[in-house]
């Protein structure tokens, strides 16, 4: 590679990564999956937007020919392979086995119903659904059916975590079914690949490919898994930690990818199955898992998903009708299948419906499968664009719909209700009532429709009835305020300490004023509990006194619960 | 990329990573820098060994033409750039400033003496030292001088840690000087690159390159550094953690690489300077740093260093005389320079000598600089091979020589003195004397020249004088044994607990028998202290009861101190 090519490579990767992560974070702020923002970054920098405004710039940054195109393809290929390694690791195979009948029964219907409906649809109207002219109808129908029946374990796990359902009974069943769904769809997909003839294929006879795919899948779930589990402690004992184990996992993944690519199915199937075998080890330490997950999801995954947006022009060929058709077909068949299975297992109606919508999220998985089919020339780029939209749409609707069905609330953090001006370092006040007034004034400066003196009096009254000093120098004066729509919090730090009559007798140095709406019961206790658990760590309490700004304070509070 | 090319890419990367890490770990076991093993893996799989035995296989795995060669070049280029990002992060710029005069004075001599001697040598005999015919004598002399004067901060830090000197006064000075040396050499190197004309160069005028290099260096150490520090808490507060910060760092590094490549100096200078600016933030959390360090050093670094071994045939063109000359010149000039500086600062003679040998380690840094010069066609491949050997030789000799000069011992871990048969789960014995006998017998089965009954009696005698039960169910019966050359340890786990008369009254469930040589004072206390600190963590003690084998036990003990 020449110096110019190296420069372009670093520049394009740097820009793409920055844009993908920035928009990914924006999506997250709007409580949407990050993958949406990441793909959007590619759409913005690719032919759809930048390419139509400044075609030369796009051609300079992301050439479609030459060494840079090869380098970019190599990096995104490795990126998606490593992303599926992480996805495989997160798939808890032992959990599927453990959950047993319920998961198997629901899983069977959740996969077979959409698969059959999708197959029937694709078989009866292949041209209008985006079959490429040279693709055999059967191969197209099977690919299409897989796209309709796939679900996305990572997105589903994220939705359940956001809704605080991950460790519930229902959550365990959903995760089990999603894992089974993922696994089954990928195995089906590998088999379809193995019987598909394509110009890009390696030169192994089809019968060999089928046999080797079956053998590989079986081995990875039995003997291979066992072998990895047996070797693992030896590596952990004798190699450096955690980098020895990390290299072991990554070499295995790369070799697995080479093997599945060689037998004629895609490299990502190899890393995915390797991930399943690895993730199942009781010896896998949290730090090893987190290191891989963090690095891959902050470097490789954004680059890969952004590259999808770069690949096609989402405006020129976009077909609204096809997208709508695919969306209705996907959601309808998946929900019918899941409801059937869940009701057979005697799940409550609202839980069955919530489960159905949760499993309907297709996210990254459908996009990756679609991309492989597109690159092999099995589906048209119009269908591929619809696949991306449907995958994102189904992921977007899952969370809010589940929340509505199950009448859930999201976990609240006290910092969500603060503003920069409501963080006071240091407090001027030296005693209790003055402190309450100072904090109330801070809130009322930001929300100037509130009556400061009235509120301060109410808080002071409440304080006199029962003092709000907690242990370890924290106090939480609070009251309910009529006419408020959302809770409001102000936090002040005292240099000298102010007596809030705490049980341990120590003066309060961190004082949080909490105002909540009159009718909202849960908010007050939830915010107080959040403050107490966040500040229970002595180290965090000590660091609060050294933050230089509101931003640093927010950063500290954020990492406080995640460390 | 075709399916065949993708397969070859994954296969070659997987094999290379596995081989590099395996040999790297072997090197580490022999107490050598891992980079030696990693380069050796490349030499084995490259033209030197595999290429001469099975040339077709090497050509298949590592083609020098076509898409796979481009992909491989792209990946190793990114790998070395990220490796230098980590190296930059580890360089503590604030520490150089803080240490002030001592570091500046020693650093000045440690760099200028070897640089001037190297320059004089290269100027007077350029042909015999490996100048390429078309390289200007001045450019060659400056490159050669840089290679002679460089030092390798990561290797030096590792040596100091191994010798338990990292946090000592002397260690701080050495690290400060090494950091200054690294920084200065890279800046000098960037300037040499900026004034060198080479066919691979980008098309910027030389004067622009010089000005931009100066500007970039200055900005990164002042305003750029400040800007990163200012933005950092904002990202930590508002983006997901740690992946938001990780992406921020990696995007900056990629963009920095693109910039320095564009202005005509190498991409790695950009990531290195970016790393310095980033590593200096007080907001950088340990977890963020560890995630990058672990992933990069277990994936990217081994691939890069192995690729060096792949690049050339170390047998065909190897020049012993040149290697010896370079070695003597490098060591001699560096040691003279360091001694001069250290003595001027009134350091003790033995410490000055130890500092000189420590800074003489050139490791990865000299290899990377050499490789850039080689790829630009400034130095011959014969000189490049000598550079690799000298870099490794100077790194290898540093540790042992320092150890001898300062009369140091390495930290001992009790597991270093165990054998598989000396781990007993569960103990058959039910009381104290029988337990001692059982553990003594275990040791004597492995070391059958020892007299079991004699030793057991001695331990029992010692035990009766002063019981060895520690708190929390751990006991450490021990004695000194005449004729032993090395300590021996056996560890037994008791199901019921055995009374060892501990201060807290609890029976011992983990019993370690420790035998040490008669004359070795330090070993006994050091091993007991190691056992006590390893087992002070309640979680670790609980997990010991669930290990299934000696290997799992070793893995647990290893990670116990590192978590």
Q: So what's the pLDDT on residue A563? A: 42
Q: What's the whole-number mean pLDDT along residues B339-358? A: 91
Q: What's the whole-number mean pLDDT along residues B541-559? A: 85
Question: What is the residue extent of each domain of chain A?
Answer: 3-406, 414-562
Which among A3, A297, A550 is the top mutation candidate for probing chain B, defined by the most B β-carbons within 10 Å of its own β-carbon? Answer: A3
Q: Is the pLDDT reported for residue B154 higher than 90?
A: no
Using the Cβ of B551 and the Cβ atoms of chain A, whether some distance falls under 8 Å is answered with yes
User: Residue B199 — very low, low, confident or very high, per pLDDT cuts 50/70/90?
Assistant: low
Residue in chain A nearest B300 by alpha carbon: A247
The whole-angstrom separation of Cα A409 and Cα A162 is 10
Q: Is the pLDDT reported for residue A393 higher than 60?
A: yes
Distance from the Cα of A200 to chain B's closest Cα (Å) equals: 6
Residue in chain A nearest B257 by alpha carbon: A10
Q: So what's the pLDDT on residue A172? A: 82
Distance from the Cα of A306 to chain B's closest Cα (Å) equals: 14
| Residues composing chain B | 563
Distance from the Cα of A557 to chain B's closest Cα (Å) equals: 8
Distance from the Cα of B480 to chain A's closest Cα (Å) equals: 28
Cβ neighbours of B298 in A, within 8 Å: 242-244, 246-247, 250
User: Residue A125 — very low, low, confident or very high, per pLDDT cuts 50/70/90?
Assistant: confident
Beta pairing, strands A508-517 & A474-475:
parallel
Considering only A46-55, A72-81, A466-475, B280-289, which range has the smallest mean pLDDT? B280-289
The whole-angstrom separation of Cα B475 and Cα B493 is 10
Q: Is the pLDDT reported for residue B368 higher than 80?
A: yes
User: Residue B472 — very low, low, confident or very high, per pLDDT cuts 50/70/90?
Assistant: confident
Instruction: Using the Cα atoms of residue B222, residue B225, residue B226 and residue B227 in order, give the sign of their dihedral.
Output: positive
Beta-carbon-side half-sphere exposure of residue A461 (alpha carbons within 13 Å): 8
Query: Closest partner residue to B242 among A258, A270, A294, by Cβ?
Result: A294
Using the Cβ of A201 and the Cβ atoms of chain B, whether some distance falls under 8 Å is answered with yes
Using DSSP, state whether B507 is helix, strand or coil.
coil
Using DSSP, state whether B517 is helix, strand or coil.
strand
User: Residue B216 — very low, low, confident or very high, per pLDDT cuts 50/70/90?
Assistant: very high
Residue in chain B nearest A9 by alpha carbon: B258
The whole-angstrom separation of Cα A466 and Cα B277 is 51
Query: Closest partner residue to B234 among A29, A248, A551, by Cβ?
Result: A551
- C-alpha of B551 from chain center: 25
Residue A213 tokens read as 């795919």
Beta pairing, strands B423-425 & B478-481:
unpaired
Cβ neighbours of A254 in B, within 8 Å: 10-11, 13-14, 17
Q: So what's the pLDDT on residue B563? A: 42
| Higher-pLDDT residue of A1, B348 | B348
Q: Is the pLDDT reported for residue B202 higher than 60?
A: no
Using DSSP, state whether A265 is helix, strand or coil.
coil
User: Residue A508 — very low, low, confident or very high, per pLDDT cuts 50/70/90?
Assistant: very high
Do the Cβ atoms of B74 and A262 come within 8 Å? no
The whole-angstrom separation of Cα A249 and Cα B383 is 37
The whole-angstrom separation of Cα A462 and Cα A516 is 13
Q: Is the pLDDT reported for residue A201 higher than 70?
A: no
Q: Which helix (H) or strand (E) holds A24?
A: helix A3-29
Distance from the Cα of A320 to chain B's closest Cα (Å) equals: 32
Q: Is the pLDDT reported for residue B162 higher than 80?
A: no
Q: What's the whole-number mean pLDDT along residues B51-72? A: 93
Cα Rg, chain B, nearest whole Å: 27
| Higher-pLDDT residue of A446, A254 | A254
Per-residue pLDDT of B26-44, as tens digits, reads: 988 887 778 889 989 999 9
Do the Cβ atoms of A10 and B294 come within 8 Å? no
In the numeric block, the tokens 């190599």 are attached to A74
| Higher-pLDDT residue of A258, B211 | A258
Using the Cβ of A287 and the Cβ atoms of chain B, whether some distance falls under 8 Å is answered with yes
A-facing residues of B in 32-51 (CB < 8 A) are 34
Residue in chain B nearest A236 by alpha carbon: B555
In the numeric block, the tokens 């150089």 are attached to B96
Mean predicted lDDT score pLDDT of chain A: 88
Cβ neighbours of B558 in A, within 8 Å: 236-237, 241
Distance from the Cα of B3 to chain A's closest Cα (Å) equals: 6
Q: Is B7-406 a CATH 1.20.1530.20 domain? A: yes
Do the Cβ atoms of A7 and B258 come within 8 Å? yes
Distance from the Cα of B260 to chain A's closest Cα (Å) equals: 8
Do the Cβ atoms of B255 and A15 come within 8 Å? yes
Using the Cβ of A77 and the Cβ atoms of chain B, whether some distance falls under 8 Å is answered with yes
Query: Closest partner residue to A243 among B67, B233, B294, by Cβ?
Result: B294
Query: Closest partner residue to A247 among B2, B285, B298, by Cβ?
Result: B298
Cβ neighbours of A17 in B, within 8 Å: 247, 250-251, 254
Task: Write out the DSSP string of B395-415.
Answer: HHHHHHHHHHHHT--PPP-GG
Per-residue pLDDT of B285-335, as tens digits, reads: 888 888 999 999 899 999 999 998 898 888 888 899 999 999 999 999 999
Using the Cβ of A69 and the Cβ atoms of chain B, whether some distance falls under 8 Å is answered with no
Do the Cβ atoms of B3 and A261 come within 8 Å? yes
Query: Closest partner residue to A254 among B10, B77, B236, by Cβ?
Result: B10
Q: So what's the pLDDT on residue A200? A: 52
Q: Is the pLDDT reported for residue A503 higher than 90?
A: no
Q: So what's the pLDDT on residue A521? A: 66
Do the Cβ atoms of B251 and A14 come within 8 Å? yes
Distance from the Cα of A247 to chain B's closest Cα (Å) equals: 5
Using the Cβ of A162 and the Cβ atoms of chain B, whether some distance falls under 8 Å is answered with no
Distance from the Cα of B301 to chain A's closest Cα (Å) equals: 11
Q: So what's the pLDDT on residue B17? A: 97
Using the Cβ of A3 and the Cβ atoms of chain B, whether some distance falls under 8 Å is answered with yes
Q: So what's the pLDDT on residue A169? A: 81
- Non-local (6+) Cβ contacts of A200 within 8 A are A375, A376, A377, B2, B3
The whole-angstrom separation of Cα B293 and Cα B287 is 10
Query: Closest partner residue to A302 among B247, B261, B562, by Cβ?
Result: B247
Do the Cβ atoms of A246 and B558 come within 8 Å? no
Do the Cβ atoms of A70 and B1 come within 8 Å? yes
Q: Is the pLDDT reported for residue A562 higher than 60?
A: no
Cβ neighbours of B247 in A, within 8 Å: 17-18, 21, 298-299, 302
| Higher-pLDDT residue of B93, A9 | A9
Topology of domain A3-406, CATH: Na+/H+ antiporter like fold (1.20.1530)
Distance from the Cα of B505 to chain A's closest Cα (Å) equals: 32
| Residues composing chain A | 563
Considering only A103-107, A482-486, B68-72, which range has the smallest mean pLDDT? A482-486
Query: Closest partner residue to A558 among B237, B248, B283, by Cβ?
Result: B237
Topology of domain B414-562, CATH: Mannitol-specific EII; Chain A (3.40.930)
Which among A11, A24, A26, A74 is the top mutation candidate for probing chain B, defined by the most B β-carbons within 10 Å of its own β-carbon? Answer: A74
Which among B2, B6, B202 is the top mutation candidate for probing chain A, defined by the most A β-carbons within 10 Å of its own β-carbon? Answer: B6
- Non-local (6+) Cβ contacts of B229 within 8 A are B280, B281, B282, B283
| Cis bond before residue A400 (omega within 30° of 0) | no
Do the Cβ atoms of B28 and A261 come within 8 Å? no
B-facing residues of A in 297-356 (CB < 8 A) are 297-299, 302
ipTM: 0.81
> Could you tell me what percent of chain B has a pLDDT over 70?
98
Judge whether B7-406 and B414-562 match in fold. no
Cβ neighbours of B287 in A, within 8 Å: 563
In the numeric block, the tokens 């953090």 are attached to A413
Mean predicted lDDT score pLDDT of chain B: 88
Distance from the Cα of B202 to chain A's closest Cα (Å) equals: 6
> Could you tell me what percent of chain A has a pLDDT over 70?
98
Q: Is the pLDDT reported for residue B107 higher than 90?
A: yes
Cβ neighbours of A65 in B, within 8 Å: none
Considering only A173-177, A323-327, B520-524, which range has the smallest mean pLDDT? B520-524
A-facing residues of B in 205-234 (CB < 8 A) are 233-234
Cβ neighbours of B299 in A, within 8 Å: 246-247, 250
Highest mean pLDDT among A438-447, B7-16, B81-90: B7-16
Residue A459 tokens read as 């808080």
> Could you tell me what percent of chain B has a pLDDT over 90?
41
Of A493, A442, A416, A368, nearest to A81 by C-alpha is A368
Q: Is the pLDDT reported for residue A210 higher than 60?
A: yes
């Amino acid at each position: 590679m020449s110096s110019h090519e190296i420069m372009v490579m670093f520049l394009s990767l740097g820009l793409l990564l920055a844009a993908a992560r920035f928009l990914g974070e924006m999506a997250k702020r709007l409580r949407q999956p990050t993958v949406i923002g990441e793909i959007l970054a590619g759409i913005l920098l690719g032919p759809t937007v930048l390419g139509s405004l400044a075609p030369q710039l796009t051609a300079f940054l992301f050439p479609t020919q030459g060494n840079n195109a090869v380098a970019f393809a190599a990096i995104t290929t490795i990126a998606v392979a490593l992303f599926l390694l992480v996805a495989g690791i997160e798939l808890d195979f032992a959990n599927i086995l453990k959950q047993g009948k319920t998961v198997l029964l629901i899983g069977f219907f959740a996969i077979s119903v959409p698969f059959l409906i999708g197959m029937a649809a694709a078989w009866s109207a292949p041209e209008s659904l985006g079959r490429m002219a040279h693709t055999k109808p059967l191969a197209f129908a099977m690919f299409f059916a897989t796209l309709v029946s796939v679900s996305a374990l990572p997105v589903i796990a994220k939705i359940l975590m956001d809704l605080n359902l991950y460790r519930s009974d229902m959550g365990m069943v959903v995760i089990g079914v999603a894992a089974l769904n993922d696994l089954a769809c990928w195995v089906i997909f590998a088999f379809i690949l193995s019987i598909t003839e394509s110009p890009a294929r390696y030169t192994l006879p089809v019968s060999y490919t089928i046999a080797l795919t079956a053998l590989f899948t079986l081995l990875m779930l039995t003997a291979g898994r066992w072998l990895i589990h047996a070797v693992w402690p030896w590596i952990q004992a004798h190699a450096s930690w955690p980098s020895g184990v990390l290299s072991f996992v990554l070499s295995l993944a790369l070799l697995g990818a080479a093997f599945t690519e060689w037998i004629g199915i895609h490299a990502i199937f190899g890393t995915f199955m390797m991930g399943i075998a690895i993730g199942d080890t009781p010896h896998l330490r949290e730090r090893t898992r987190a290191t891989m997950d963090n690095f891959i999801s902050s470097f490789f995954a954004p680059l890969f998903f952004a590259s999808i947006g770069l690949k096609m022009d989402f405006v020129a060929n976009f077909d609204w009708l096809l997208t709508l058709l695919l969306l209705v077909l996907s959601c309808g068949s998946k929900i019918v299948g899941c409801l059937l299975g869940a009701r057979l297992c005697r799940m409550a109606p609202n839980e069955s419906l919530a489960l159905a919508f949760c499993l309907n999220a297709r996210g990254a998985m459908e996009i990756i499968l679609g991309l492989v089919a597109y690159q092999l020339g099995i589906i048209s780029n119009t269908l591929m664009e619809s696949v991306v939209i449907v995958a994102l749409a189904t992921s977007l609707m899952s969370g809010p719909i589940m929340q509505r069905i199950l009448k859930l609330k999201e976990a609240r953090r006290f910092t969500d209700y603060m503003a920069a001006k409501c963080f006071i370092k240091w407090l001027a006040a030296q005693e209790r009532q003055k402190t309450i007034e100072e904090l109330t004034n801070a809130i009322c400066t930001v929300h100037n429709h509130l009556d400061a003196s009235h509120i301060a009096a109410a808080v002071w009254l409440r304080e006199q009835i029962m003092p709000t000093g907690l242990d370890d120098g924290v106090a939480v004066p609070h009251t309910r305020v009529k006419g408020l729509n959302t809770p409001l919090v102000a936090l002040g730090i005292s240099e000298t300490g102010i007596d809030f009559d705490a049980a341990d007798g120590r003066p309060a140095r961190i004082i949080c004023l909490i105002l909540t709406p009159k009718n909202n019961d849960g908010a007050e206790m939830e915010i107080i509990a959040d403050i107490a658990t966040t500040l229970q760590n002595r180290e965090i309490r000590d660091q609060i006194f050294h933050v230089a700004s509101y931003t640093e304070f927010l950063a500290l509070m954020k990492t406080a619960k995640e460390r």
